[in-house]
């Protein structure tokens, strides 16, 4: 008996949908690309519940007649290619003819289209689970309107794997950015749950970047332009001082198609050698134009990876063009060997004569005198003064883990400006001062977030924060928690944030870094690391407000840090589950010296 069976068309389409339609953002990508290919000059994207309930794309492109409308949702039905050689000379975003077929098989879809402005009526078809349900003539404008409702309604397991609305919305916005940025000659409107997130008019590339990522972006941009026989490279990169620890706002476009390329990213990264920290990343918006026959787009289901015929040449051109622009606009540091030293002399010293240097010395110094023996030893990093006495009669000292406020019984000193060392009856305790401070602040903030109200320090001059629409939306998730903590906002919308009051614990110059940390930490995905939004916020606040590495602390501060740490509910690990202190027992020390 044969065990191999041919799958039904419906099952085959659902399997194909698993590759093409991974989440609502995948549908948005495919529908927007179809609108671009149709020659649309205006595109409107409407979603509800982050695309789970509704995704609708309306364009004014060429539209379809009744015959095309009946074929557009069939598998491998496309107007983009005719023969296999066309795959190597693509000038459109789509070409496989799989998108509408895959999407319709896992949703309720309706398509309304008209391709002739002289005809009053257009055509509509409705599909459920990939099958045609109805077709009608309806009143419509020139172009196409596609509605996708109840995504994955017939695959409950796939629907259950979707993330929260905030996470899915972020993915949809990312896809919208990738389409809207490079197609800046097209008007775009994006509406989410009846709230307009973006309204972008036709513009030049730079203006589109600023409209999407905020007004403050304009001063950060350095233009890139290189024209060679192999490739034409245009776009913008960020100035080195605006690099971040997270990868954000990084866009490569090849022939107007967004791609992900570690190879090209490495070219950008090496162009910034010596200008940014190794663990920092810059933002960029780069468009590469190459002959279509020199690339292969058909190597990835989502068409986000491509192969170049001459990738090494493009790597070298990209790297050199960025280096050239950074130097041309005086971003990279330069040394002028022709400048006169006299020109660097301050004006107030112009007529003054150079003074003869004086050397002071001790006339009573005798190198043959025996040095006085001191009971203390000190170095530039820390002092061991009196430490040897503390190790005597250790049984008389009280254990630091017991309730006792006699801090004099436990001398402390700092090692390498990063660790605090003290002792217990059991041995020596080495404490990571940064992690200890994070734990102390975390429990403090978590406690204050649970208070009914907190005090607010009013600012003389409000603090203005300039983030893009998406970043402001992300910060809106913790707006109420911040207000509860003591922050006061005069303005908080898509246009910007204005702070008129802060919690007394913070200082003004910390605020911008604090809000940037909230954005970089992906608030919308707080469930991955925290069980509540308050827990997440307390972690981020403790991270951004804690001691930095290599900070010298006064003796009293060290003692206070140790006492506050062991007063915490859980002094063993930081809020990020990292070890705070290590105890080296007396037995371990004895073994070191073979005792």
Is the dihedral angle over the CA atoms 412, 414, 420, 422 positive or is it negative?
A: negative
Q: How far is CA 304 from CA 172, 175, 183, 258, in A?
A: 16, 11, 16, 6
pLDDT band for 534, please (50, 70, 90 cuts). Answer: confident
pLDDT band for 298, please (50, 70, 90 cuts). Answer: low
Q: Confirm if 172 and 155 have CB atoms less than 8 A apart.
A: no
Q: Confirm if 109 and 148 have CB atoms less than 8 A apart.
A: yes
Determine what percent of the chain is predicted with pLDDT higher than 90: 41
* Tokens encoding 153: 């309604």
Give, as one character, the DSSP assignment of residue 202.
Answer: S
Nearest to 331 by CA among 416, 274, 392: 274
Comparison of pLDDT for 554 and 299, the residue scoring more: 554
Separation of alpha carbons 37 and 31, rounded Å? 10
Burial group, residue 34, by CB count within 10 angstroms (0-12, 13-18, 19+): buried
Separation of alpha carbons 26 and 446, rounded Å? 38
Q: Confirm if 419 and 409 have CB atoms less than 8 A apart.
A: no
The alpha carbons of the chain give a radius of gyration, in whole angstroms, of 32
What's the confidence (pLDDT) of residue 562?
Answer: 92
Place of tokens 């982050």: 50
* Tokens encoding 506: 């913070």
Across 142-149, average pLDDT: 95
Separation of alpha carbons 313 and 319, rounded Å? 10
Nearest to 467 by CA among 435, 491, 433, 484: 491
Q: Judge whether residue 316 has pLDDT over 80.
A: yes
Give me the DSSP letters along 61-123: S----HHHHHHTTSTT--SS-SSGGGGGS--SS--SS-HHHHHHTTSEEEEEEE--TTSSEEE
Q: Confirm if 251 and 216 have CB atoms less than 8 A apart.
A: no
Q: Which of 5-9, 223-227, 303-307 has the lowest mean pLDDT?
A: 5-9
Q: Max CA-CA distance within the chain? A: 112
Length of the chain: 595
Separation of alpha carbons 514 and 546, rounded Å? 11
Q: Judge whether residue 378 has pLDDT over 70.
A: no
Q: Confirm if 25 and 171 have CB atoms less than 8 A apart.
A: yes
Separation of alpha carbons 554 and 560, rounded Å? 10
Comparison of pLDDT for 15 and 329, the residue scoring more: 329
Angle formed by the axes of helices 24-37 and 165-182, nearest 10°: 20
Q: Judge whether residue 350 has pLDDT over 50.
A: yes
What's the confidence (pLDDT) of residue 488?
Answer: 92
Q: Confirm if 180 and 188 have CB atoms less than 8 A apart.
A: yes
What's the confidence (pLDDT) of residue 394?
Answer: 35
Q: How far is CA 283 from CA 245, 325, 437, in A?
A: 11, 15, 32
* Tokens encoding 507: 């200082």
Q: Hey, which bits of 446-508 come out as E strands?
A: 457-465, 488-493, 496-502
pLDDT band for 1, please (50, 70, 90 cuts). Answer: low
Edge-to-edge strands of the sheet including 457-465? 457-465, 496-502, 488-493
Is the dihedral angle over the CA atoms 282, 283, 289, 295 positive or is it negative?
A: positive
Across 79-87, average pLDDT: 62
Q: How many separate helices (H) and strands (E) can be counted in the chain?
A: 17, 22
H/E element holding 421?
strand 419-423
Q: How far is CA 193 from CA 54, 89, 346, 369, 418, in A?
A: 10, 40, 62, 86, 49
- Over residues 87-140, the pLDDT tens digits come to 556 667 766 667 888 899 999 999 999 998 888 899 999 999 888 999 999 999
Give me the DSSP letters along 247-288: --SEEEEETTEEE--HHHHHHHHHHTTTTS-TT-B--EEEEE
- Over residues 27-64, the pLDDT tens digits come to 999 999 999 999 999 999 999 999 999 999 999 999 99
What's the confidence (pLDDT) of residue 32?
Answer: 95
**What does pLDDT average to over the chain?**
82
Q: For the chain, which domains are there?
A: 9-200 (3.30.565.10), 211-328 (3.30.230.10), 375-595 (3.30.1540.20)
Place of tokens 């689970």: 129
* Tokens encoding 588: 């371990």
What's the confidence (pLDDT) of residue 138?
Answer: 93
Phi, psi of 397 (to 5 degrees): -80, 155
Q: Judge whether residue 570 has pLDDT over 70.
A: yes
Q: Judge whether residue 388 has pLDDT over 60.
A: no
* Tokens encoding 315: 């790597």
Beta-bridge partners for 464: 498
Separation of alpha carbons 206 and 221, rounded Å? 9
Comparison of pLDDT for 519 and 380, the residue scoring more: 519
Place of tokens 């706002």: 249
What's the confidence (pLDDT) of residue 516?
Answer: 83
Across 252-269, average pLDDT: 92
What's the confidence (pLDDT) of residue 466?
Answer: 75
Give me the DSSP letters along 391-416: TTTGGGSPPTTSS---GGGS--EEET
* Tokens encoding 541: 């606040």
Q: Confirm if 95 and 87 have CB atoms less than 8 A apart.
A: yes
- Over residues 395-422, the pLDDT tens digits come to 333 344 444 444 445 688 899 899 999 9
């Amino acid at each position: 008996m044969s065990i191999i069976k041919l799958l039904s068309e419906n099952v085959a389409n659902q399997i194909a949908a698993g590759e093409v339609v991974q989440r609502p953002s995948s549908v948005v990508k495919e529908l927007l690309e179809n609108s671009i290919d149709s020659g649309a000059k205006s595109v409107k994207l409407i979603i509800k519940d982050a695309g789970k309930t509704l995704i609708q794309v309306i364009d004014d492109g060429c539209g379809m007649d009744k015959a095309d409308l009946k074929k557009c949702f069939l598998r491998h039905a496309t107007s983009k290619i005719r023969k296999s050689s066309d795959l190597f000379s693509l000038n459109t975003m789509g070409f496989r003819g799989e998108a509408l077929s895959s999407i319709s098989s896992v949703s309720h879809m309706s398509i309304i289209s008209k391709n002739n402005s002289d005809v009053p009526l257009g055509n509509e078809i409705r599909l459920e689970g990939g099958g045609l349900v109805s077709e009608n003539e309806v009143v419509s404008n020139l172009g196409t309107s596609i509605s996708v409702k109840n995504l994955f309604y017939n695959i409950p397991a796939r629907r259950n794997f979707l993330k929260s609305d905030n996470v899915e919305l972020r993915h949809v916005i990312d896809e919208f950015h990738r389409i809207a940025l490079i197609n800046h000659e097209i008007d775009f409107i994006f509406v989410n749950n009846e709230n307009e997130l973006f309204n972008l008019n036709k513009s030049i590339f730079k203006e589109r970047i600023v409209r999407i990522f905020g007004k403050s972006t304009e001063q950060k941009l350095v233009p890139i332009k290189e024209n060679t026989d192999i490739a034409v490279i245009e776009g913008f990169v960020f100035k080195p001082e605006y690099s971040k620890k997270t990868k954000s706002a990084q866009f490569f476009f090849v022939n107007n198609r967004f791609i992900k390329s570690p190879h090209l990213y490495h070219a950008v990264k090496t162009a910034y050698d010596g200008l940014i920290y190794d663990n920092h990343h810059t933002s960029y918006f780069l468009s590469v134009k190459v002959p279509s026959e020199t690339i292969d787009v058909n190597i990835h289901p989502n068409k986000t990876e491509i192969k170049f015929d001459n990738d090494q040449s493009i790597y070298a051109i990209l790297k050199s063009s960025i280096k050239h622009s950074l130097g041309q606009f005086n971003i990279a540091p330069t040394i002028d060997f022709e400048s006169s030293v006299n020109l660097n002399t301050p004006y107030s010293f112009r007529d003054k004569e150079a003074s003869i240097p004086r050397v002071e010395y001790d006339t009573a110094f005798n190198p043959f005198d025996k040095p006085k023996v001191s009971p203390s030893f000190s170095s530039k990093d820390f002092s061991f003064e009196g430490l040897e006495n503390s190790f005597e009669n250790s049984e008389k000292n009280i254990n630091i883990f017991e309730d006792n406020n006699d801090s004099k019984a436990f001398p402390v000193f700092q090692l390498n400006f990063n660790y605090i060392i003290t002792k217990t009856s059991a041995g020596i305790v080495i404490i990571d001062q940064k992690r200890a401070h994070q734990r102390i602040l975390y429990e403090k903030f978590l406690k204050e977030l649970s208070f009914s109200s907190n005090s607010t320090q009013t600012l003389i001059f409000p603090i203005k924060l300039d983030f893009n629409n998406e970043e402001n939306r992300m910060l809106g998730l913790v707006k109420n928690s911040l207000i509860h903590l003591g922050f006061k906002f005069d303005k908080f919308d898509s246009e910007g944030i204005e702070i008129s009051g802060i919690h007394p614990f913070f200082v003004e110059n910390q605020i911008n870094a604090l809000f940037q940390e909230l954005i970089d930490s992906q608030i919308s995905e707080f469930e991955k690391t925290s069980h509540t939004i308050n827990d997440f916020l307390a972690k981020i606040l403790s991270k951004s407000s804690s001691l930095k590495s290599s900070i010298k602390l006064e003796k009293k501060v060290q003692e206070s840090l140790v006492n506050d740490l062991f007063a915490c509910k859980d002094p063993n690990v930081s809020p990020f589950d990292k070890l705070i202190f290590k105890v080296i027992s007396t037995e371990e020390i004895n073994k070191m010296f073979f005792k």
